[in-house]
Amino acid sequence: MATIPITKRGAEKLKAELHKLKTVDRPWVINAIAEARAQGDLSENAEYEVAKDRQGFIEGRIQEVEGKLSACQIIDPADLDAEGRVVFGATVKLEDEDSGDVVTYQIVGEDEADIKLGLVNIGSPIARALIGKEQGDTAEVQAPGGVRRYEVVAVSYV
């Protein structure tokens, strides 16, 4: 399996999810299955089927999160020294050359991306266009509405 880059915050978020899955969700679904079994005939027991489906989902998610955590490379942006270049974990302030709007994004891993919080996936078109750029450079991003041009105003590692 390939190494998955993830920020320290993203790794902590995955660890917290795994802990919840194992200590809260798994015991809850085991209890729900036991209660449904106690009701008798399992062939026509909808609660039992729902609980078994939920158990399958939880066990699958546990395996998925454990796999990601075992294959991840945790990167702390504060420890980076990329000499002003945009790299994974960097926080980038951009100005749209057409509208003049200023936006700030941090380039993060797939599991921690949330555009509303300014966290963009390393595989997204904007992140791919920004990687390697420095302050003052222009990045062209293929957006659904056409090509957008952004000037890199600032790059920080926080």
Residue 1 has pLDDT above 70, yes or no: no
Residue 68 and residue 95 share a domain: no
Segment 21-55, tens digit of pLDDT: 999 999 999 999 999 888 877 777 888 999 999 99
Strands of the chain, DSSP E:
4-7, 72-75, 91-96, 102-108, 119-121, 138-143, 146-156
Nearest Cα neighbor of 25 from 50, 53, 58, 70 is 58
Residue 20 and residue 60 share a domain: yes
Residue 149 and residue 81 share a domain: yes
Residue 83 and residue 152 share a domain: yes
Residue 84 and residue 150 share a domain: yes
pTM, entire model: 0.81
User: How many domains, the chain?
Assistant: 2
User: What is the extent of the structural domain holding 66?
Assistant: 4-75
**Cα→Cα distances 101→15, 24, 25, 150, 153, Å:** 36, 44, 43, 9, 12
